[in-house]
């Protein structure tokens, strides 16, 4: 009996020890499970890849979120920073200029490259040091955000105007703009709501010329843009062509719609010697830009522009 009692006592001790060990084991496993969740929550911002000693300015983060939200038509708060690094860019287009775009050759120091995600997709943005300039790497071609029905509607409208089969029309450029309720293209006697709504400007290749249309985001409104179509059929960048039309309209006291660009060509010229002052020698420097020819009825003229269209002068040599 004493031996049996000792065996029972020993079994109880072993059971108790195993039970305690089991409890400790369960507690240890629970701690191991809980720990990553705590770390994950605490490191949600510290897990963002960054260069040592760098910190993404709030102004840049806000500007990038706003740009992505506008381009994707989503809420800004859905986009979180995945990684960022400091970068410098070769011009004010942040190295993402379009083929027909004149970019200012201004070296952007200490800019940023930011990767953002919303749980479904990632977008990469570039900015200057403060976030005043922002461009999206993944969105050089916004046509990805146009629905097939919207594109078909624009092609149908252009087909009827140009007498070209819709399947022969090709979208070559898409740009997001902001307009009033009439897409800033009011019809006679039409009242337009004064709102700043996003819209699309779509350029189609309808050989041998280009045509430009504006549409709301859903494609319910589609309107032909006559002035933009004239500009699209010149070789000059849009900013240059628009500035020349406005200068000619001011000089001739005519609306820009009455003026046509007949030719545009890239030119260079020597500058700085218009009024040399003796005895100092003339030190010319070479400028590059555009020579743009315009006409309106019997009137015709030529203008010179710098690369950005910020300086326009009447070309006296052609008068």
Complete DSSP assignment for the chain: -HHHHHHHHHHHHHHHHHHHHHHHHHHHHHHHHHHHHHHHHHTTTTTSB--TT----HHHHHHHHHHHHHHHT--GGG-EEEEEEEEEESSTTTT---TT-------EEEEEEEEEE-SS-EEEEEE-SSSSSEEEGGGS-GGGGS-HHHHHHHHHHHHHHHT--GGG-EEEEEEEEEE-TTTT-PPTT-------EEEEEEEEEETTEEEEEEEETTSS-EEE-HHHHHHHTSSS-HHHHHHHHHHHHHHHT--GGG-EEEEEEEEEEEES-SS--TTSPP--EEEEEEEEEEEETTEEEEEEEETTSS-EEE-GGG-
221: domain CATH number is 3.10.450
Which pLDDT value is given to residue 39? 23
245 and 221 in one domain?
Answer: no
225 and 253 in one domain?
Answer: no
Query: Which of these three, 138, 169, 190, is where a domain ends?
Result: 138
> How many domains is the chain built from?
3
Which pLDDT value is given to residue 121? 75
Is 80 a member of any domain? Answer: yes
Query: Which of these three, 105, 138, 171, is where a domain ends?
Result: 138
Which pLDDT value is given to residue 21? 40
Which pLDDT value is given to residue 127? 93
Query: Which of these three, 138, 171, 193, is where a domain ends?
Result: 138
Give the residue ranges of the chain where pLDDT is below 50.
Answer: 1-4, 6-8, 10-12, 14-49, 51-53, 275-278, 280
Which pLDDT value is given to residue 100? 60
Is 273 a member of any domain? Answer: yes
Is 19 a member of any domain? Answer: no
Is 104 a member of any domain? Answer: yes
192 and 172 in one domain?
Answer: yes
166 and 225 in one domain?
Answer: yes
291 and 264 in one domain?
Answer: yes
Which pLDDT value is given to residue 27? 30
Is 4 a member of any domain? Answer: no
Which pLDDT value is given to residue 251? 94
Is 294 a member of any domain? Answer: yes
Is 256 a member of any domain? Answer: yes
Structural domain span for residue 75: 58-138
């Amino acid at each position: 009996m004493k031996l049996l009692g000792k065996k029972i006592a020993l079994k109880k001790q072993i059971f108790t020890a195993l039970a305690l060990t089991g409890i400790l084991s369960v507690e240890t496993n629970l701690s191991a499970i809980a720990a990553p969740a705590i770390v994950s929550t605490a490191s949600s911002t510290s897990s963002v890849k960054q260069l040592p000693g760098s910190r993404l300015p709030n102004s840049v983060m806000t500007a990038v979120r706003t740009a992505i939200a506008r381009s994707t038509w989503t809420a800004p708060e859905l986009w979180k920073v995945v990684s960022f690094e400091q970068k410098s860019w070769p011009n004010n287009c942040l190295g993402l200029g379009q083929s027909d775009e004149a970019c200012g050759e201004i070296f952007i120091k200490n800019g940023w490259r930011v990767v953002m995600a919303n749980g479904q997709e990632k977008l990469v943005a570039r900015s200057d040091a403060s976030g005043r300039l922002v461009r999206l790497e993944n969105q050089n071609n916004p046509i990805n955000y146009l629905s097939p029905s919207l594109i078909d509607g624009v092609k149908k409208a252009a087909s009827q105007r140009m007498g070209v089969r819709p399947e022969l029309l090709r979208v070559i450029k898409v740009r997001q703009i902001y307009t009033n309720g009439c897409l800033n293209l009011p019809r006679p006697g039409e009242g337009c709501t004064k709102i700043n709504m996003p819209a699309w400007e779509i350029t189609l290749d309808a050989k041998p010329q280009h045509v430009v249309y504006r549409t709301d985001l859903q494609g319910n409104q589609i309107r032909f843009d006559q002035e933009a179509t004239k500009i699209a059929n010149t070789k000059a960048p849009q900013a240059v062509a628009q500035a020349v039309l406005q200068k000619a309209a001011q000089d001739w006291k005519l609306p820009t719609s009455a003026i046509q660009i007949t030719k545009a060509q890239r030119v260079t010229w020597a500058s700085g010697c218009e009024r040399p002052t003796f005895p100092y020698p003339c030190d010319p420097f070479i400028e590059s830009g555009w020579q743009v020819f315009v006409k309106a009825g019997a009137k015709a003229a030529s203008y010179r522009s710098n690369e950005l269209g910020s300086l326009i002068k009447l070309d006296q040599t052609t008068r």
